[in-house]
């Protein structure tokens, strides 16, 4: 059977996108709600200098990642995907978050697969290396870069990524949508293959 290489981001994609909000509101004495998170850059949302947010993340990053809630149906759909395709987790998290990331996966019983912690939001080279067919992502800028490099991207809807899409990016709203889009991709791929054989 034809298997796909599917790259999956972690934060905001497998996790709930606003899992950091409660702690950040407590720490910075703010009252930000999910609807206010209209940009990916958290320091801008909070109205603070970038370094202040980095200091906060340095102190509480492990705790935030460890206690992150998982998106509805993510685990079940990932299990289904893994039975038919290859999964690769590709995240901008720094290498120092590897233990916490693996521990969170274990606690939430997320299907096991390679985890790539890049320490950077630039994911194109890793996607090329993996020979990725579909990339599941929440960050708008990443989606644009990946689509421009020729990858199919499923952009999971968040308040902070509602900008115009380009060819190669499909907006999805749930993990059920993701499952459906992967099936659509496979159907098109097999149809094209049959046309080439005929």
Residue 1 has pLDDT above 60, yes or no: no
Residue ranges of domains in the chain: 5-16+70-197, 21-67
Average pLDDT over residues 73-98: 96
Number of C-alpha atoms within 13 angstroms, CB side, residue 8?
28
Give 102-137 pLDDT, tens digit per residue: 999 999 999 999 999 999 999 999 999 999 999 999
* Cβ burial 141-153 (10 Å sphere, 16+ → b, else e): ebbbbbbebebbb
User: 194: pLDDT confidence band, cut at 50, 70 and 90?
Assistant: confident
User: 198: pLDDT confidence band, cut at 50, 70 and 90?
Assistant: low
User: 197: pLDDT confidence band, cut at 50, 70 and 90?
Assistant: confident
Q: Residue 172 in contact with residue 178, Cβ under 8 Å?
A: yes
Architecture (CATH level 2) of domain 5-16+70-197: 3-Layer(aba) Sandwich (3.40)
Average pLDDT over residues 160-189: 96
User: 184: pLDDT confidence band, cut at 50, 70 and 90?
Assistant: very high
3-state secondary structure the chain: CCCCEEEECCCCCCECCCCCHHHHHHHHCCCCCHHHCCCCCHHHHHCCCHHHHHHHHHHHHHHHHHHCCECCCHHHHHHHHHHHCEEEEEECCCHHHHHHHHHHHHHCCCCCCEEEECCCCCCHHHHHHHCCCEEEECCHHHHHHHHHCCCEEEEECCHHHCCCCCCCEEEECCHHHHHHHHHHHHHHHHHHHHHHHC
Please indicate, yes or no, whether the overall pTM of this predicted structure exceeds 0.85. Answer: yes
């Amino acid at each position: 059977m034809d298997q796909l290489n599917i790259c999956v981001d972690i934060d905001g994609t497998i996790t709930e996108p606003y899992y950091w909000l409660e702690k950040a509101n407590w720490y910075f004495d703010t009252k930000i709600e999910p609807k206010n998170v209209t940009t990916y850059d958290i320091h801008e949302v909070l109205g603070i200098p970038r370094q202040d947010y980095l200091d906060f993340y340095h102190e509480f990053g492990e705790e935030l990642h460890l206690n992150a809630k998982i998106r509805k149906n993510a685990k079940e759909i990932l299990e289904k995907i893994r039975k038919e395709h290859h999964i690769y987790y590709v995240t901008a998290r720094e290498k120092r978050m590897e233990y916490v990331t693996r521990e969170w996966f274990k606690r939430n019983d997320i299907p096991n697969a390679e985890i790539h912690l890049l320490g950077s939001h630039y994911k194109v080279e890793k996607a090329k290396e993996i020979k990725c067919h579909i990339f599941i992502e929440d960050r708008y800028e990443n989606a644009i870069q990946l689509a421009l490099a020729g990858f199919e991207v499923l952009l999971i809807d968040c308040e902070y990524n509602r900008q115009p899409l380009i060819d190669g990016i499909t907006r999805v709203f749930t993990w059920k949508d993701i499952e459906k889009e992967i099936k659509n991709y496979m159907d098109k791929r097999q149809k094209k293959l049959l046309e080439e054989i005929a």
